[in-house]
């Protein structure tokens, strides 16, 4: 079976983890701080805080903004459930927003329709690595005093108007889970400029303690610590950071391969009647997934591909139709229509030319 996605890892990552094991320091330490510095250098960012998952990154960022039960967060329904769970964990209300039919990113006009005095945060999701229109979103948010928290789980390495996602804006959250553009095994990061907010998040990621574990053991009073606020056990480990340090060096190679695969698919599928390709600028993005819209019979196509050894997926089931979020449900006809059509095809750096050819031949053969 050719999978939809898989991590691209090897002996270099294994060697890096081995060194951590040999050091005897598996928790948060030198490798984590080195990974944060590597992210700063790559993104051109001011403050980077590494955490244990992308979901933790979103939650801790929103929590630091002190959201409450009367606060609203505008967010596309068309995203992974983690985005919504982070909002609800802070006690705030998710306000589901439509997406653009061509890019599958948040619809700017619907943001304008739904923003009000209760809106404290807007969460644009850079779906598939394609950046949202950040200039317009930031302008809308700042005009009403809202903060923009970017869900950039798909967009590590992508650029917007010559600037890397994470190098500008209010707060950006990345994910480094097994299938993301780079992986730490599991991991995430919060990127921002505000020094006071960054200091708060740094404390929150390790139970509200004002000094992290590594620094405590460097002090004369190695036993002393102080809890100054609420917090979570969200810090990244040296094991995960070691993997990330190897992976970030491979991002250019990963990017080239992902763009190559998508271009091959686009060229092969562009004239097939009954499907639509997404609007993607491969020169400026690191494509996280390859999605087509199948106008009729999407599920039959999935079955056909599976019978022929090719896995496919649906990313994502909209959150406004999920049972857990039913009370926040609204009418989103564009999102509903797209959900019925989308299909993700195999895309990962280690996919071979032979497998690409099989996917193309099988997909075209169905039609």
293 a catalytic residue = no
Which residues does 106 contact at the CB level (< 8 Å), separation at least 6? 75, 76, 97, 98, 99, 100, 124, 125, 132, 137
Which residues does 300 contact at the CB level (< 8 Å), separation at least 6? none
Between CA 151 and CA 172 the distance in angstroms is: 6
Closest among 45, 1, 2 to 290, alpha carbons compared:
2
Helices assigned H by DSSP within the chain = 11-23, 30-43, 54-64, 81-89, 108-114, 134-143, 195-204, 213-216, 238-248, 251-269, 298-307, 333-339, 353-366
Between CA 182 and CA 129 the distance in angstroms is: 13
- C-alpha dist (Å) from residue 131 to 28, 244, 279, 320, 361: 31, 23, 11, 23, 31
CA 162 to chain CA mean position, Å: 20
Between CA 256 and CA 187 the distance in angstroms is: 23
Centre a 10 Å sphere on the Cβ of residue 296 and count the other Cβ atoms it contains: 10
Task: Out of 47, 93, 164, 180, pick the active-site residue.
Answer: 180
Which helix (H) or strand (E) segment holds residue 150: the answer is: strand 147-151
SS3 category, 343:
strand
Which residues does 302 contact at the CB level (< 8 Å), separation at least 6? 312, 343
**CA distance from start to end of the chain:** 21
Contact 301, 330 (CB under 8 A): no
Q: Cite the active site residues.
A: 180
């Amino acid at each position: 079976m050719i999978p939809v996605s898989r991590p691209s890892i090897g002996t270099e990552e294994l060697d890096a983890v081995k060194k951590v094991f040999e050091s005897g320091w598996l928790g948060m330490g030198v490798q984590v701080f080195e990974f944060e510095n590597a992210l700063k250098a790559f993104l051109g960012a001011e403050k980077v805080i590494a955490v244990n998952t992308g979901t933790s990154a979103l939650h801790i960022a929103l929590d630091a903004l002190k959201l409450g039960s009367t606060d609203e967060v505008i967010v596309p329904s068309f995203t992974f459930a983690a985005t919504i769970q982070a909002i609800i964990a802070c006690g705030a209300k998710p306000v589901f927003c439509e997406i653009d039919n061509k890019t599958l990113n948040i619809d700017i006009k619907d943001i304008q329709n739904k923003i009000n005095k209760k809106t404290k945060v807007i969460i644009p999701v850079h779906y598939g690595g394609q950046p949202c229109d950040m200039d317009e979103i930031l302008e809308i948010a700042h005009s009403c005093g809202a903060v923009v928290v970017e869900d950039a789980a798909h967009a590590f390495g992508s650029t917007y108007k010559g600037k890397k996602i994470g190098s500008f804006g209010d707060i950006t959250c990345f994910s480094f889970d097994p299938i993301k553009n780079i992986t730490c095994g599991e991991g995430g990061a919060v990127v921002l400029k505000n020094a006071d907010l960054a200091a708060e998040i740094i404390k929150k990621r390790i139970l509200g303690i004002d000094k992290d574990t590594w620094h405590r053991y460097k002090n004369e009073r190695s036993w002393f610590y102080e809890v100054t606020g609420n917090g979570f056990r969200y810090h990244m480990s040296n094991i995960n950071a070691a993997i990330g340090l190897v992976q970030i060096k491979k991002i250019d190679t990963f990017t080239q391969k992902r763009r190559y695969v998508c271009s091959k698919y686009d060229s092969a599928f562009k004239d097939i009647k009954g499907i639509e390709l997404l609007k993607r600028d491969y020169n400026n993005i690191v494509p996280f997934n390859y999605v087509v819209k199948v106008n009729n019979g999407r599920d039959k196509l999935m079955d056909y591909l599976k019978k022929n050894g090719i896995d496919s997926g649906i990313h994502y089931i909209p959150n406004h139709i999920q049972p857990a979020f039913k009370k926040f449900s609204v009418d989103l006809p564009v999102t509903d229509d797209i959900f019925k059509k989308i299909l993700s095809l195999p895309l990962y750096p280690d996919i071979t030319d032979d497998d690409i050819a099989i996917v193309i031949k099988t997909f075209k053969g169905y039609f």
